[in-house]
A and B are shown apart, each in its own frame.
Chain A
């Protein structure tokens, strides 16, 4: 939404320039006008400079260090004497040849895809539901935000305890309906389902909020016309709401992709990516290599991280292009 605010006034400034050159024929006046404009630009940049320097030091430089790290063999010794031999693409070759690579890639795709499919469809259903005006709708909608605002570590620990094999409330519910104990967090076939459950729960509020605002921007008379034509609720949704919501939906899904690729806390707290690699995503793998064990393998960790960032940027660019196009139309 904020991107729609991208400063547009280049043309306005050119227009004033043109007007000024017609009125002020004297060259001296033109020069003072130029100087004034320069001063205005300097003032503007004095306000922006801190953030630009900050972006360079705290975004660009870490990214560069990370890239550099992935082409070197950084060991514990490197911390002490600063030496780290340049090894070209060796870390990338090692990482891609590792037995964790394929599971991590598949898990990242499954985790991201399934999370978004459920978050989006549940979020949309809830947005449509809360869009009907009924008593308490606004209050209940506000309460839905809570899972989104909680520290991820809190949500992850709560889910970990709820899914505990012996004492978890979920297994207790299941046994009440006659289903045997499921080892949610410790069995390879359920670990991914468990982290998905928690992540979908956390992501629903975000989808609900954005899609709800999308619903608000659909003009009411479209619905009136539809109801005059005798459309049923189901028809109205599929023929009107869903198509008109497509641009907002696209943005919600792409933002969801970018954010879900980053997810780390939830999986790390609940399963640490295990058992074995059953719930290891690229983000988890990178962290485990770099900070999870006793001996940090920072260089391969950086290589995995850089593969992840390529994925994130692909979706990120699609998102920005879409948003630009929407802002223009």
Chain B
């Protein structure tokens, strides 16, 4: 009884805590709409009373190439990560390879290497290969953020696919590749979406590789765009925050979309078909 009476109190408390947690996001949006002349006001305006969209106009006029580069880098990283991790995970989960445990172990270790160490190694290697300051080079570097994660997620997902599905394909005379493409991949589409979304987000958000292996490149991602903004004109925080808001859009999309996909069951699709 007491518990039921407490429930609204919990909801109110929960909203207050969440509001505190998300305050920096609110502040980012608020500052992005604040008139540059009001930015140095003390105390600052808590609400965008007199909003300006100049910051966003600046994003469109100055940051579009950066956003485009981030989009290409993100998509390229997703393509490379999927191509490498999905087939490997299929074999690890379903084909019982000798040495599979060792591969899994190496993948776990690989995730622990600090980015700065990878960046330095890539810097020398890419310099030798002549792909320093290129988009393909950056995509290769960014893919290391996601490939181990991709293999581990796909393996966990595909291990849950019933073996009967595989046997049925085998009886029909399908090769392993055919089974992978026509049976396993369609059933695993939820994990494909999950891995793609996270990979895209990491490629989109990367700063350390962009600022090392692509430091002299003509095409720079949005993270470098913001970084240069901060370095060049520290006065213009309304434009910086507007750029930050735009750079956060993929994260917001991921939250809305992935919620649905992560929750979906592995075999649900197979049963429906």
Residues of A within 8 A of B147 (CB): 51, 54
Interface string of B111-132 (1 = CB under 8 A from A): 0111111111111110100000
Are A58 and B208 also in contact (CB < 8 A) when A47-B180, A51-B88, A169-B44 are? no
Stretch from A17-25, A187-195, A299-307 at the B interface: A299-307
In B145-182, the 8 Å CB interface with A consists of 147, 151-153, 155-156, 159, 176, 180
Central interface residue in A44, A69, A129, A261, by most chain B CB within 10 Å: A44
Q: Verify A153–B207 contact, CB threshold 8 A.
A: yes
Residues of B within 8 A of A142 (CB): 255, 259
Any B CB within 8 A of the CB of A118: no
Interface string of B96-120 (1 = CB under 8 A from A): 1110110111111110111111111
Q: Verify A302–B28 contact, CB threshold 8 A.
A: no
Any A CB within 8 A of the CB of B91: yes
Interface residues on B, range: 35 or more
Stretch from A5-13, A85-93, A210-218 at the B interface: A5-13
Q: Verify A157–B121 contact, CB threshold 8 A.
A: no
**A312 partner, pick from B106, B113, B144, B207, beta carbons under 8 A:** B113
Question: How many residue pairs between the two chains, A and B, have CB atoms under 8 Å in the bound complex?
Answer: 277
**A130 partner, pick from B7, B14, B90, B127, beta carbons under 8 A:** B14
* Interface residues on chain A, number (Cβ under 8 Å): 91
* CA gap between A126 and B21 in the complex, in Å: 11
Central interface residue in B143, B205, B215, by most chain A CB within 10 Å: B205
Residues of A within 8 A of B10 (CB): 129, 132, 134, 137
Stretch from A27-35, A99-107, A159-167, A239-247 at the B interface: A159-167
Any B CB within 8 A of the CB of A237: no
Q: Knowing that A47-B87, A50-B88, A301-B120 are A-B contacts, what are 16 other residue pairs whose CB atoms are under 8 Å apart, sorted by A's residue number?
A: A5-B152, A41-B97, A47-B180, A48-B92, A51-B84, A55-B107, A59-B110, A59-B144, A62-B117, A79-B127, A146-B255, A158-B24, A201-B24, A286-B116, A298-B124, A320-B108
What residues make up the interface of A, taking CB atoms closer than 8 Å to B? 1-7, 9, 13, 40-41, 43-48, 50-52, 54-55, 58-59, 61-66, 69, 79, 126, 129-130, 132, 134-137, 140, 142-147, 149-155, 157-162, 166-167, 169, 172, 175-176, 201, 204, 258, 261-262, 264-265, 268-269, 283, 286-287, 290-291, 298, 301-302, 305-306, 308-309, 312-313, 316, 320
6 interchain pairs, CB-CB under 8 A = A13-B96, A59-B113, A62-B125, A65-B125, A155-B24, A290-B212
